[in-house]
Amino acid sequence: MFARSLLLAALLFSASASNAVAQNGSDVIAPPTLRANVTITSDIVRIGDLVDNAGSFGATPIYRAPDLGTTGTLPVVQVLATLRTHQVIGVDTRDLKEISVTRAARAIERHEIELAVARTLERRNGLGEAANLTINFDRDVGDIRLEATNSGNLQPIALRYDPRNNCFDITFEIANETGAAPTRLRFTGTAIETVEAAVLARSVERGEVLKHSDVLLERRPKAEVGADLAVRANTVGMQARRQLRAGQALKTADLVRPDLVTRDQSVTLIYQAAGLYLTIRGKALEGGTEGDVVSVMNLQSKRVVSGVVTGRGQVSITPPRAAPALEPTASLAPAEQASPVAVANVSSVAPKAE
């Protein structure tokens, strides 16, 4: 038996020497040598994967490979024992204690699958852009690992989508660079089109003015929120028309510009004309925002005038326009002649300088 092992070792060294001569052009014999780190693409570990200059023994399978994309270790003592069972001896261990074996794989992450599904469904059956589709799978997809030779793209070969319940059923095919049959992956789930909505972070009462911290951005199902969505940038500083609950997606109809004048508020009446600027205190009889026409009582004359809200607590009275020139044949009764009521309301009291 010992003589037979020596003979096999001699044959191994002879094969290794032939390889060394062919590669290096010299007569130096390269002994079989263990590798410290090994990466394989097969599901089987062969002698040639672990040992350099293994000669004709290199194709002999000896271990099952680790799972796809994982790394395992082999104690050198165990490896040498296994090699001896195949009559491979005289291996240089390089003082290694273990060998690291990695199984190469192609990893397809969940987000890559979601993107492939969204792009396949984009603009189909009334759906919008892929970026606006939220994909939910019927079962946990996680990250998928395939043989490293599956290098092709995810190509859809079958698709079903039902807009009534948003359900999809898609099969992808991935080409194999070795010419083997392509790998097929099937996914089912739901695809929902979403939009970016301005959402309340807290409940607000009618008439409250929204602050920056009151409004968040969230993606919501398009069918749920409908149209007329408010843009977040346009909501801050606006006033709630009615009571609104936390988590509610804001619509433009929910908000109005804040009142600069409120009912029964003490306001400043302003009369401004060429070379003249008068102010007087008044009491607003109704509320309004900028540009609204409101009624205000002059607190000194107790007369009611109309003016335009121009600022917080400010109402401007517009000077009356000059009456147009009349034709010679036209005549007006004394009661029909224009009267500058607004001017009289302001100028009937002593002006108050600001």
Domains 2-103 and 196-256 share a fold: no
pLDDT tens string 199-219: 999 999 988 889 999 999 999
Neighbours of 60 (CB within 10 A): 14
* Residue-wise burial string across 117-143, b where 16 or more C-beta atoms lie within 10 A, e elsewhere: bbebbeeeeebeebebbebebeeebee
pLDDT tens string 239-264: 898 999 999 999 988 998 888 888 99
CATH of region 2-103, choose from 2.60.480, 2.60.40, 1.10.260, 2.30.230: 2.60.480
Instruction: Give the CATH fold of the 196-256 domain.
Output: Type Iii Antifreeze Protein Isoform Hplc 12 (3.90.1210)
- Please tell me which of 167-171, 195-199, 216-220, 270-274 the model is most confident about, judged by mean pLDDT: 167-171
pLDDT at 13: 40
pLDDT band at 2 (very low <50, low <70, confident <90, very high): very low
14 vs 312, higher pLDDT: 312
Question: Both tokens of residue 156?
Answer: 């859809």
Q: How far is CA 164 from CA 122, 220, 247, in A?
A: 17, 18, 26
* C-alpha–C-alpha distance, residues 318 and 170, integer Å: 68
Q: State mean pLDDT over 58-69.
A: 93
In CATH terms, is domain 259-319+337-354 a member of 2.10.77.10? Answer: no
What are the residue ranges of helices labelled H in the chain? 2-24, 47-50, 76-85, 110-121, 222-225, 341-347
pLDDT at 324: 61
* C-alpha–C-alpha distance, residues 164 and 127, integer Å: 12
pTM above the 0.75 mark?
no
240 vs 30, higher pLDDT: 240
pLDDT band at 87 (very low <50, low <70, confident <90, very high): confident
Residue 209 β-bridge partners: 239
- Residue 334, phi then psi, degrees to nearest 5: -55, -35
Listed residue (180, 314, 289) closest to 239, CA to CA: 289
pLDDT tens string 104-156: 999 999 999 999 999 999 998 889 999 999 999 999 988 899 999 999 999 99
Mean pLDDT across the chain = 83
Q: How far is CA 300 from CA 123, 273, 282, 293, 303, in A?
A: 67, 21, 8, 21, 8
pLDDT tens string 277-336: 889 999 999 988 888 899 999 998 899 999 999 988 999 987 766 556 555 554 444 444
Domains of the chain: which residue ranges?
Answer: 2-103, 107-194, 196-256, 259-319+337-354
pLDDT at 144: 92
pLDDT at 47: 94
- Residue 87, phi then psi, degrees to nearest 5: 65, 30
